[in-house]
Structure 1
Amino acid sequence: MRASPRKPMPEQRAVTVGVDIGTYETKATAVDAIGAVVATAKCPHQLSLPAPGFAEHDAETVWWGGLVTAVRSLLDTPSMAATSVQALCCSGIGPAVVPTTAAGRALRPAILYGIDTRAGDQADQIEQRLGAATITARSGNQLSSQSAGPKIAWLAQHEPDVVAATAVIHTCQSFLVHRLTGQVVMDHATASYFHPLYSLREHRWDTEGCEWFVRPEQLPSLAWSDQVAGRLLPEPAAQIGLPVGTPVLVGSADAPCEALACDVEQPHSAMVMYGSSGFMIAPTADAMPGAGLYCAPGLTDGSWLVAAGTSTAGTATRWLTQLLRLGGEPGGSEFVELVALASLAPKGSLGLLVLPHFSGERTPFDDPAARGVIEGLSLAHGRAELARAVLEGIAHSMVLALASMLAHADTGGQHRRLSAIGGGTANLVWLQAVSDIAGLPQQVFKSPGASYGGALLAGRAIGLLERNVVPECRQPTLTIDPDEAAHAAYVHDHERFSQVYTALRQVRTA
């Protein structure tokens, strides 16, 4: 379905708006017909950790409240007018699970993506009932903490009254689209992470053998991310300040929109996202299963993505700043202080090694029970060495995930362009450690991220933005080259990282 752009008032640039719900903040970005950023806005929110292994958001206050606040703040900027907005696209953390009423009201807090590891037992139960071969054949993936299906099964077992009252099981952006348009629809890219409930090859829901925890009618209809889901209804239009009838796209999860924002659409390109967790995406010719990897349809019909992820990245830096009591000044000074402190220690942290598995680990270990480790600690180590070792540990885990993804993507052995994006790219110690350990350069992009990608997708969908336009925001601002001597020195630590993990897993599972 394609919508024609409305004519804005004189002297106003027609724009499209992307809104992205992140782990800790919501961002909104407006772009014009050449992809230039007209305005941005953001608002912070909190991540709820109600129990070990649990990670949740209140969908009403965090997701819907964040969208309302961010869009209204965007419209308050001098360069913006509500009548200039031609379309809206939402993206968000995913896959998330939130049960709702038929009207789209959340029945409980949303269970988040792979950082929520509560459903390990349910994953085992599903695998025992269906068999690993059936799950892989259907989903193209094995079950992991990133899978939404086991989290729905957890609800069925622990909160059966909630599931019985559930009309729709939403993810983040489909929850927002329902509220905005009244349409119950989810994009294929996110639905494919609801394994084992989605047939990857057939692009449809498949709940055979899963009737014990989900009813087919509870799952939204499916569409491609660049399709128009519906038009803005009067009540939400009044709340967010946009005109009634504004086209709203189906949208997608944050990572594919991040990839679009930094021009990761062509073969031999890949994105490394430095966020609360580490996430990597690369375009691929077809679904390609691999250990700890996620194969999914892309934003548009006929496109495919292969992805990898770590469970802990930016959340570990936040934990460390609190542990070391950094941040004497408001406005994120704690992260500036962290980088300065880590810079005082030599590369390799005097032999100190940290496994940042605070919330389990995804690629390549697929181990939600893994936990953080500080190995090699001695009286010679201080705050600076600990700070660097945590950043290097995050880098080791990200490089392991990245290597797994690149080994399965259709590179044909060719050099791959790595695009670095996300709030963590401000941390040059972290960035440099990833390049040094991997031995690969990275191009850093400073675009507004997934909200920018969503706005670009909306512009293309309604014909406002031509596909071949390459906006300035999609150009790298910095290149991080690997240090050859550091790469050679890190080889031993990188091997040791996996050896320590393997040894501890053997002890833990003995």
Structure 2
Amino acid sequence: MAEIIGVDIGTTSTKVILYNQAGKIIASENHGYPLYQTVPGMAEESPTAIYDAVVAGITAVAAKATQPVAGLSFSAAMHSLILLDDQFVPLTRMYTWADNRAAAAAAQLRALPNAHELYRHTGTPLHPMTPLSKLVWLAQTQPTLHQQARWFVDIKAYILHRLCGQLVTDYSLANATGLFNLQTFDWDAQALKLAQVQATQLPQLVDTTTQLTGFDPQLAATLHLSPATPLIVGASDGCLANLGVNAIDPGIAAVTIGTSGAVRVVTDTPKLDPEGRLFCYYLAPHRWVVGGPVNNGGNVLHWVQETLFAAETAANATTGQSTYDLITSLAAKVPAGSHGLLMHPYLNGERAPLWDANARGAYFGLTARHTRAEMARAAMEGIIFNLAHVAKMVQALTGPFTNLQATGGFARSTTWRQILADIFDTTVTVPASTEGSSLGAAVLGFESLGLITNLAEVHHLVGNTTSQVPNPTNVQTYQALFPIYEQLAEAYQPIFKELAKFK
């Protein structure tokens, strides 16, 4: 039975997992790296640290393979940007999707008379997360640096070049840059002009199942791989998460909560939101992923842990106990609706549904009777309400959801899953493995290598699943609260810009 390595280059860590052809995990590694946030809006990482994490992970899992590894297939976080010199040496750290310093540039793009035409060409909302906005920002604020760069690349292109000497990016990740035309499958001339970049300064565009070869023999030996091992370019982590949890059929949506979150559904043709609020990204031929990303997912619960449960977190640092488990157990004891307390979780600005980098979080309805337990549950509910707000937009384009496939760390929590099922009033299914992006990369690799005939065969590989059905009483509660949540979000928006002046 063939074995393949799925490499998922994430925002805070790289997960490397060795799968066999039945989708069983043989070995896995997870290597983290720091996020630099030393000035307001910054969110940078070291490309070399990420490369080192990739190499360490591959080395460890390949050593546990029971036979020669058939291939390596890659997933990566979207919207990354690195400037390289003519020797492919980084001139900058990697700007992540979370770097918000291009907010003014994104606002300028949105104000253009042809802004919606730009969205229709690229399928990417105009926001500071995108390399397009960041390149406009760099050209305006650091023109010398911008002009020094020979190459503008994403993190996966950088990693693949270091592994095999070829500079390519797949249609899926390119689609998320704001520089790719989803109609022509080429770099978009209008976007390039705005970014002050030539097509020759960008990686070669390839399909997601493209195979690369050319390992340096010495590097291959270090990695416990044959120099002939093919590298499958793969796709973006969001698109592969849908594939990895078998959410590729009509009506089956993937809901992910990791550090951030997203709602995504696969369609057979590109579908674009008339108001430009949703993304439309390529996965594979006749498979497009439509959805919306949110900035605020597990990072909000981390804020709850560090702020409202600081004493327990400090004490648990020495005992090894989990403050997260304490928070979710307390939240589970609070009734749906948190006794009338709502939280808008915009602690880190917001992408979908607001697309407002100045968005601010808020508790509303706080009274003297509320405790940390209600505040914790309200935060969990607020994260899901926000995703439901995005889902409402997605369903207007793609039709109703019949099932939710949950992926990301939150899917391990019964409390989280029940809140999701109740707010969406839809059955939630959780695959045996919640690491959808790495499995999705492996499945794409299996197809590229001819080990499966169609991506639909993923349903044989996802493993045993558990399901959570909506609680009718809780559904009624949330259906009463959700309109209030939306009304408040709309009322807050005009104030965000004013509040941002006082940061």
Residue number among 215, 218, 223 corresponding to 1:240 in the alignment:
223
SS of corresponding position for 1:84: coil
Partners of 2:323 and 2:452 lie apart in 1 by 39
SS of corresponding position for 1:250: strand
Residue number among 378, 383, 408 corresponding to 1:394 in the alignment:
383
Contact 1:181 1:232 in 2 (8 A): yes
How far 1:395 sits from its partner (Å)?
1.0
Partners of 2:389 and 2:223 lie apart in 1 by 42
Contact 2:22 2:461 in 1 (8 A): no
Contact 2:63 2:224 in 1 (8 A): no
Structure number with the bigger relative contact order (C-alpha 8 A, sep ≥ 6) is 1
Q: How many residues align?
A: 488
How far 1:332 sits from its partner (Å)?
7.5
Partners of 1:332 and 1:363 lie apart in 2 by 34
SS of corresponding position for 2:383: helix
Residue number among 409, 413, 419 corresponding to 2:405 in the alignment:
419
How far 1:476 sits from its partner (Å)?
4.8
> Which of 451-460 and 158-167 deviates more?
158-167
Q: Could you tell me the percent identity over the aligned residues?
A: 27
How far 1:209 sits from its partner (Å)?
6.1
C-alpha distance 236-103 of structure 1, shift in aligned 2 (>3 A): farther
Residue number among 420, 440, 448 corresponding to 2:426 in the alignment:
440
Does 1:451 find its partner at 2:433? no
Partners of 2:286 and 2:131 lie apart in 1 by 23
Contact 1:145 1:362 in 2 (8 A): no
Partners of 1:288 and 1:209 lie apart in 2 by 20
Higher helix residue share: 2
Q: Deviations over 1:175-194 (max 9, x none)?
A: 21111111111111111122
Partners of 2:73 and 2:47 lie apart in 1 by 18
Residue number among 195, 201, 204 corresponding to 2:183 in the alignment:
201
Partners of 2:169 and 2:109 lie apart in 1 by 23
Partner of 2:346: 357
Q: Deviations over 1:252-279 (max 9, x none)?
A: 1111111111112222222111211111
SS of corresponding position for 2:280: strand
> Which of 182-191 and 338-347 deviates more?
338-347
C-alpha distance 236-39 of structure 1, shift in aligned 2 (>3 A): same
What's the RMSD between the two structures over aligned residues? 2.2
Does 1:313 find its partner at 2:300? no
How far 1:244 sits from its partner (Å)?
1.4
Stretches of structure 1 that go unaligned for 5 or more consecutive residues are 1-12
Residue number among 477, 482, 486 corresponding to 1:494 in the alignment:
482
> Which of 419-428 and 325-334 deviates more?
325-334
Residue number among 402, 410, 414 corresponding to 1:428 in the alignment:
414
Partner of 1:217: 200
Contact 1:296 1:305 in 2 (8 A): yes
SS of corresponding position for 1:28: strand
Partner of 2:501: none
Residue number among 254, 259, 268 corresponding to 2:251 in the alignment:
268
Partner of 2:105: 122
How far 1:471 sits from its partner (Å)?
6.3
How far 1:39 sits from its partner (Å)?
1.9
Contact 1:361 1:367 in 2 (8 A): yes
Residue number among 315, 326, 345 corresponding to 1:337 in the alignment:
326
Partner of 2:15: 27
Q: Deviations over 1:406-460 (max 9, x none)?
A: 2211x3x5x5221111111122222221211111111012323211221221122
Does 1:293 find its partner at 2:278? yes
C-alpha distance 240-318 of structure 1, shift in aligned 2 (>3 A): farther
Partner of 1:403: 392
Does 1:322 find its partner at 2:309? no
Partners of 1:404 and 1:265 lie apart in 2 by 19
Partners of 2:410 and 2:189 lie apart in 1 by 38
Partners of 2:234 and 2:142 lie apart in 1 by 29
> Which of 169-178 and 140-149 deviates more?
140-149
Contact 1:306 1:405 in 2 (8 A): yes
> Which of 497-506 and 468-477 deviates more?
468-477
Does 1:188 find its partner at 2:171? yes
Partners of 2:223 and 2:425 lie apart in 1 by 46
Contact 2:253 2:404 in 1 (8 A): yes
C-alpha distance 316-123 of structure 1, shift in aligned 2 (>3 A): same
Q: Deviations over 1:16-61 (max 9, x none)?
A: 1111122222111112233332222222333332333322221110
Partners of 2:191 and 2:243 lie apart in 1 by 36
How far 1:141 sits from its partner (Å)?
4.1
Letter in 2 for 1:231: G
How far 1:339 sits from its partner (Å)?
0.9
Partner of 1:376: 365
C-alpha distance 297-470 of structure 1, shift in aligned 2 (>3 A): closer
C-alpha distance 90-105 of structure 1, shift in aligned 2 (>3 A): farther
Q: Deviations over 1:375-430 (max 9, x none)?
A: 22222111111111111111111111122112211x3x5x5221111111122222
